[in-house]
Amino acid sequence: MNVSNRFDVNGFGVVVTGGASGLGLAYGEVLAAHGAHVTLIDVDAVALDQHTTRLQDQGLDVRGAVADVTDHPALDRAIDEAAEAYGRLDVAFANAGIDPGVGFFGAWAGDTRPRVEEGALERYTDDRWNHVIDINLNGIFATVRAAVRHMRPRRFGRIIITTSLAATVVEGAIGSSYLAAKAGARHFMHAVALEVAAYGITCNAIAPGFFVTNIGGGHAHNREVQAAIAKDIPMHRVGHPDDIKALALFLASPASEYITGQEIVIDGGWGLGIAD
């Protein structure tokens, strides 16, 4: 058995929500670099244009589609058009997500973690709660639903949901709507995996720890924040989008055929506790 062949995604039709930045862009880049046809779906038309042009200039088969994952008819159209353009939809990354704003702690790491009044539960507004659930949970549901419509008849598919370490570990610096949405997305992944397993479709999740992306206005680019977090991470460094590419390729490829309903944490050991 030639195991390298099992990682072949050449010719696969792929959609990635939140594909114009950070982890979604990394998923799109690695799949396209291995010969897949990739549609990046994002609400940010400017970033989408910039990155699709850059990747097309490298000779990669990448197209962009502007859609908001909270606008389900527009999302359906973007995914239907991608499947039509390629004549197939093999892989869907349900990835678009936002930061929920302040939690009840004001700092991510360090000895002093003062409570922040603004982040207290009593002050959590409906708007703030619903906005996060709408994107980080309902958007995942709508993306997966649209993808399965194309995958089930072909009896093949790879669905990969971006959850978070925060789906299973409570972190007070993160607004609780995010924790609830990610935990919901994680269990939705289990339900989908069970339903579609008999149709050759797998559904798994990638749960990142701390990655340097543009989420939440790009606070992860702050070197002081990175150093403070890296201290607590057993591997003593934060993650970068390149760190996630091999896992994304594995879960998108035939190599992961017999794995479904699993959430794979990629966090440098952060979820295990503090080592030194």
Ligand X SMILES: NC(=O)c1ccc[n+]([C@@H]2O[C@H](COP(=O)([O-])OP(=O)(O)OC[C@H]3O[C@@H](n4cnc5c(N)ncnc54)[C@H](O)[C@@H]3O)[C@@H](O)[C@H]2O)c1
- Residue 203 identity (one-letter amino acid): C
104 vs 211, beta carbon nearer ligand X: 211
Query: Interface with ligand X by CB under 6 A: which range of 149-157, 206-214, 242-250, 251-259?
Result: 206-214
Residue 124: active-site member: no
The closest alpha carbon to 164, from 214, 103, 205, belongs to: 205
Q: Is 97 in the site for ligand X (CB under 6 A)?
A: yes
**Helices marked H in the chain — which ranges?**
22-33, 45-57, 72-86, 126-133, 139-154, 176-196, 215-218, 223-232, 245-252
**Site size with ligand X, rule: CB under 6 A:** 28
Pick out residues in 145-164 that bind ligand X (CB under 6 A).
162, 164
**DSSP structure string for 55-102:** HHHTT--EEEEE--TT-HHHHHHHHHHHHHHHT---EEEE-------B
Region from 20-28, 101-109, 168-176, 187-195 binding ligand X, contact rule CB under 6 A = 20-28
What's the DSSP call for residue 143?
H
The interface with ligand X within residues 234-273 (CB under 6 A) comprises: none
CA distances from 81 to 10, 53, 149, 177, 199 (A): 20, 19, 13, 32, 23
Q: How far is the CB of 154 from ligand X (least distance, A)?
A: 25
- Nearest distance in Å: CB 161, ligand X: 9
Which one among 44, 49, 76, 81 touches ligand X, defined by CB under 6 A? 44
Nearer residue to ligand X within complex by CB, 196 or 220: 220
Give the whole-angstrom CA distance, residue 129 versus residue 97: 14
Given 86, 124, 178, 258, the catalytic residue: 178
Residue 220 CB, shortest distance to ligand X, in Å, is: 6
Judged by CB under 6 A, does residue 39 bind ligand X? Answer: no
- Identify the residue among 30, 83, 98, 180 touching ligand X (CB under 6 A): 98
Stretch that binds ligand X, among 4-12, 147-155, 205-213, 243-251 (CB under 6 A): 205-213
Task: Pick between residue 70 and residue 168 the one whose CB is nearest to ligand X.
Answer: 70
Rg (CA), the chain: 18
Contact call for residue 12 and ligand X (CB under 6 A)? no
Q: Applying CB under 6 A, which of residues 13, 24, 28, 175 lies at the interface with ligand X?
A: 24
Q: Give the integer Cα–Cα distance in Å for 96 and 211.
A: 15
DSSP label of 169: S
Residue 70 found at the interface with ligand X (CB under 6 A) = yes
Q: Which residues contact 234 (CB under 8 A, 6 or more apart)?
A: 268, 269, 270, 272, 273, 274, 275, 276
Catalytic site positions = 178
Chain residues in the site for ligand X (CB under 6 A): 17-18, 20-24, 42-44, 47, 68-70, 95-98, 135, 162, 164, 208, 210-211, 213-215, 220
